Structure 1
Amino acid sequence: MSDDDAEPDVNISGGSAGGGVEATFDPATAGTRAEAVVDRLGELYWQKAYGGRDGFECLVRTILSQNTSDVASQPAHDALVERFGPVEELAANLVDAPRDELAETISSAGLYNQKAESIQRAAEWVLDAFGSTTDFDAFVRDGDPGEVRETLLELKGVGPKTADCVLLFAGGQGGVFPVDTHVHRIYRRMGIAPPDADHEAVRAVLEREVPAEKCGFGHTATIQFGREYCTARKPACLDDPDACPLADACDQVGVYPVTGEVEDPSEAAD
């Protein structure tokens, strides 16, 4: 794994100062296959605590991360806060920011025109609906998770993964397992979720079968595992089964080492 692909020391999770409680991992005592996989990931990767991020900043940061990596979106976030911060004034400053200036500031995150529009819309919504980012932060942190999620999903530009990341990283809500493209692919490929499951169905399986305190780590560690080992087009097991540390836990749905072919698990089920 190159340094460019490594997880940043400080990212959307808040790093070691995130404010949550770190889980312990013991595959031998796992109650489900999904928990066993997360526990195995706990032996491979960094340990982090979750929660404690500012709610609005986390919402912006997650929008920036859509369809890109932390390596690309972190500089965009830093540049945005530097130009339009401090954090307590960020929403008001973004509402008044020229759209082209905002787009240029976050260009490293990709899709910058679309994301600039979504970020300004989010800033206007937070101030109109909650009065201040402080009150929005309290809603995310203390509100009923289901209500918070549904409220966030009403905002255009916020999908299930973004809403769940805000719940997890800002609200510190246990039992939230955001599903991005890596999580969606890997748990269907492993056979833990049905091969034709959509993102929401995969989330339901994981949040049912992974203990609440391990869901946050499971999300971020699965992403790293997907970047390092279980890539979409060339998973490590394709050339060498021993190259993947989780090979013995995987059903390889849609992966055919004999022919070197890889397909989406849903296609393998046809």
Structure 2
Amino acid sequence: MSDDEPAENISGGDDGGGIPAAFVPGDGDDAPLVERVVDRLGERYWQKTYGGQDAFECLVRTILSQNTTDTASQPAHDSLMAKYDHDEETDLAASLADAHQPELAETIASAGLYNQKSKTIIRLANRIVEEYGGADGFDEFVREGDYDEVRAALLNMKGVGPKTTDCVLLFAGGRDGVFPVDTHVHRIARRMGFAPPDADHEGVREAIESELPPEKCGFGHTAMIQFGRDFCTARKPACLDDPEACPMTDVCEQVGVYPDTGEVVDPSETVE
């Protein structure tokens, strides 16, 4: 969900992706570890407010991104929108509810798992139309509904898990205090030590959201993903060969990373 983010910290304006978020650094060494990490990431990458995406399109985009890369899912999203949301009068949910599944599968083939994803999208589109009257009604519910009710409703939809739910709440709903956990965030949080090494995705989310100021969750999520791509990769983090190569070494516990031996293991394997 971060494919529209800038490559560097240029908050605000068209290139920066929107309105800059209020950014107040924490209380130095007295701030929780996750806040110190996010503050550092905010300085390196970007700080912006979130929300404003159409909720149903955001839901579809996130489903397309499951188990694949932005490079693969973006063309699928673009092809889907061109075919099923071709003018201002089109309700995307209604259009996809009536879609021919094999045709939709072919349209989104670049995203992988296209048969499964096409069936999920059509099923969700029908539910959105039946329960909310279409994309606009669903968008209003996501933006203005009670947070707990919205989250529960999304999680109740077959094919929508915690990460997809939180992406919709953040990118469409603009909800503060929501920190979606993808594979990068899951790895980094446990490796750096601000979540238990054996925490599952929900455990990581709870650990982060309990310690991080709500207004920092949005840019913290996207910046942490970029940090994972740039430095803290799964198999060969930058610190493995040279501690100075990673800008976060001084605030990282390196759980499961052993520079002396060159070994990298899942943090959960360090639990005795």
State TM-score, norm by structure 1.
0.91
Q: Quote how far apart the aligned CAs of 1:31 are.
A: 2.4
What letter corresponds to residue 21 of structure 2 in structure 1?
E
Which residue pairs with 2:228 in the alignment?
226
Report 1:58-207 matches (<5 A).
58-86=58-86, 88-207=90-209
Counterpart Cα distance in 2 of 1:98 and 1:202: 39
Deviations 1:100-147, CA, capped at 9 Å, x for gaps: 111111122222111111111110110111122111111100111111
- 1:241 & 1:230 partners in 2: Cα distance? 12
Count of matched residue positions in the alignment of Structure 1 and Structure 2: 261
Q: Distance in 2 between matches of 1:236 and 1:157?
A: 35
- C-alpha RMSD of the superposition: 2.0
Counterpart among 252, 255, 258 of residue 256 in structure 1: 258
In the alignment, the residues of structure 2 paired with residue 194 and residue 22 of structure 1 have an alpha-carbon distance, to the nearest angstrom, of 29
1:57 and 2:62 correspond: no
Offset of 1:25 from its aligned partner? 4.8
Cα 1:7/1:25, change in 2 over 3 Å: farther
Distance 1:164 1:110, change over 3 A: same
**Alpha-carbon shift at residue 46 of structure 1 (Å):** 2.8
Matched, 1:246 2:248: yes
* Equivalent residue letter for 2:174: G
The alignment partner of 2:91 has SS state of helix
Identity rate of aligned residues, in percent?
Answer: 64
Residue 9 (structure 1) shift: 4.6
Q: Which sections of structure 1, spanning at least 5 residues, go unmatched?
A: 1-5
Q: Is the 8 A contact 2:91 2:134 kept in 1?
A: no
Structure 1 partner of 2:214: 212
Read off the aligned partner of 1:34 and give its amino acid letter.
Answer: V
1:26 CA displacement: 2.6
> 1:49 offset after TM fit, Å?
2.2
TM, length-normalised to structure 2 = 0.90
Once the two structures are superposed, residues 200-242 of structure 1 have per-residue CA deviations (whole angstroms, 9 ceiling, x without a partner) of: 1110111111111110111111111111111111111111111
User: For residues 81 and 15 of structure 1, do their structure 2 counterparts lie closer, same or farther at Cα, with a shift above 3 Å needed?
Assistant: farther
